[in-house]
Amino acid sequence: MQYAHRITRLSALAMGIAGALAFGQVHASGFQLKENSVKSMGSAFSGSAVAKDDTSVVVNNPALMTRFTGTAVQTDLSVINVDSEFSGGGFDITGRPLSGSNGGDVGDPAAVPAMSVVHKFDNGLAVGAMVSAPFGLKTEYERDFVGRYYAIESGLEIVNLTLSAALDVVPDRFSVGAGLVFSRADVTLSKAVDFGSLLFLGLPPAARPTAPAFARPQGSDGFAEITGADNGIGWVIGAALQATDKLTIGFSHQSEIDYDLEGEADWTVPTQARATLDAVGRAALFRDGAVTADLTTPSITTLAVSYQFTDAFKLSTTYAETGWESLEEVRINFANPDPDSVEEFNWSTTRFMALGGEFKLNDAWMLRAGYAYDETPTTYQFRTPRLPDEDRKWYSLGATWQFSDALQLNFAYTHIKPDRPVVAIVTPPAQGGQRLFGSYDSAVNLFGVSAQYRF
């Protein structure tokens, strides 16, 4: 019975899937995706809330929809290529080095599409709709990753449908807008589970030196995968002021969105570990079954200013805050008797600051460039392989080709260089006692193309 009690108490170590809703090395703060406009990408998203001719304002600042005439349809496609490799190692609770590789390149190229439409009525009212992916990422380590007990696969997809309306309060000078956001979140997470450590720690200390190989740390690796999904609703508001003929000021706020994720836990338990658990009366643990978890995506507040210095040159800037306090902890609730899995994140508000310019080369071509500094919500104390995130710098170039009066094409390239993130995790002895130390060498390249048609 003493062994059974220890197994129950220690089973939480196998739940360290708790990184459940954080994701690997990404290109924007936390797991945010800014790529809803290729035109804005070309200037490092400076002035995204004062972009008068970009239909992504349906989301970025709906008040600016009043600056359109007729109908405009826009499609954007951004490709994110993340190169990120871990170097380091660790130890199990007995002091043996953790076996395994560096996990390979954890980031694969990913496409982020967006589509938006705006229609302006003659009475000063404008409406718009946009489908976009504001949060998400897919990273995957190799199965023999040295940090496999902390993360293997982390997948998040959030897709929003935003329906917005805007009204001219003072025609050509001041407008306001608001919208509803209908959102869908899908999560997939996996990690290796060290059942050998669970069994080893369940033994009386005197019996541990003679424990069989399968009941020693790293002796019985299992696997756990969690999936979950839910729908949520949020809102966005915005205002735009044409202070002078040359100075434009824009403000927008996107709300938090709450999700009550429901899904499944899929356990792979080694045969000898399963037999031992069954023999000590813990057959109900680590069985496939339902799970629930709460997720709240952060609010985003943006202030942008642009100034048209000459007919050919405009300078824009953006300051944005993302309220990552919404992710204080992640708690996975199991329908089976397995204890809740809880992991603290204690993330904080991040700031994004960008400066960019546009130069009209001729009637057909507009060139742009920008620089941005983007803070991470993570801290050294809570950083894990699921989110080895750090502050980053953006360097962007872009261009618009006005193919005809109705059709324009946009191109953009951004190189992002994160600071070197360091991971140092010491798991408490009662939860497995693994230790992982190392750092990541990362770089991100973004490529984008979009088309806008007006009629």
Q: How far apart are CA 100 and CA 361, in angstroms?
A: 54
Beta-bridge partner residues of 356: 316, 370
For the chain, the straight-line distance linking the first and the last C-alpha, in angstroms and rounded, comes to 76
Distance CA(341)–CA(329), nearest Å, equals 10
The whole-angstrom separation of Cα 136 and Cα 297 is: 11
pLDDT 10s digits, 196-227: 998 998 888 888 889 999 999 999 999 999 99
**pLDDT greater than 90 at residue 305:** yes
Rounded to whole angstroms, the Cα distance separating 434 from 428 reads: 8
Task: Copy the structure tokens of residue 199.
Answer: 């069994």
Domains of the chain: residue spans and CATH: 2-454 (2.40.160.60)
Strands (DSSP E) contained in 96-255 are: 110-120, 125-140, 153-170, 174-194, 221-242, 247-254
Average pLDDT, the chain: 88
Question: CA-to-CA distance for 441 and 342, rounded, in angstroms?
Answer: 29
What is the band of 14 on the pLDDT scale with cuts at 50, 70, 90? Answer: very low
Q: Whole-angstrom Cα distance, residue 351 to residue 190? A: 30
pLDDT at 213: 92
Angle, CA of 434, 11 and 287, to the nearest 5°: 125
Tens of pLDDT along 369-378? Answer: 999 999 988 8
**DSSP one-letter string for 258-304:** EEEEEEEEEEE--HHHHHHHHHTT-TTTT--EEEEEEEEEPPEEEEE
% the chain with pLDDT above 70: 93
> What is the structure's pLDDT at 4?
54
Q: What's the rounded Cα separation, in Å, for the pair 184 and 179?
A: 17
User: What is the tens place of the pLDDT at every residue in 33-79?
Assistant: 888 999 999 999 999 999 989 999 999 999 999 999 999 999 999 99
Per-residue pLDDT at 12 exceeds 50: no
Confidence band for 185, pLDDT divided at 50, 70 and 90? very high
Angle between helix 195-202 and helix 271-279 axes, rounded to 10 deg: 30
Q: How far apart are CA 122 and CA 125, in angstroms?
A: 7
Of 200, 190, 191, 204, nearest to 220 by C-alpha is 200
| Residue 333 scores a pLDDT above 80 | yes
* Dihedral sign of CA atoms 199, 200, 204, 206 in order: positive
Question: Is the CB of residue 217 less than 8 Å from the CB of residue 196?
Answer: yes
CA 263 to chain centroid, in Å, comes to 20
Position 24 pLDDT exceeds 50: no
Tokens 């392989």 belong to 385
326 pLDDT above the threshold of 60: yes
Alpha helix locations (H) across 319-367?
Answer: none
* Number of residues written out for the chain: 455
| pLDDT at position 169 | 94
The Cα 49–Cα 302 span in angstroms is 7
Q: For the residues of 296-330, what is the DSSP string, one character each?
A: EEPPEEEEEEEEE-SSSEEEEEEEEEE-GGG-SEE
Looking at the chain, the whole-number percentage of residues with pLDDT higher than 90 is 63
Q: What is the DSSP letter of 57?
A: H
Q: Is the pLDDT of residue 20 over 50?
A: no
pLDDT at 427 over 50: yes
**How distant, in Å, are the alpha carbons of 24, 76, 219, 442, 443 from that of 390?**
11, 27, 34, 10, 12
Q: Report the 10 Å Cβ neighbour count for 76.
A: 28
**What is the reported pLDDT for 7?**
52
Residue 378, class by beta-carbon neighbours within 10 Å (0-12 exposed, 13-18 middle, 19+ buried)? Answer: buried
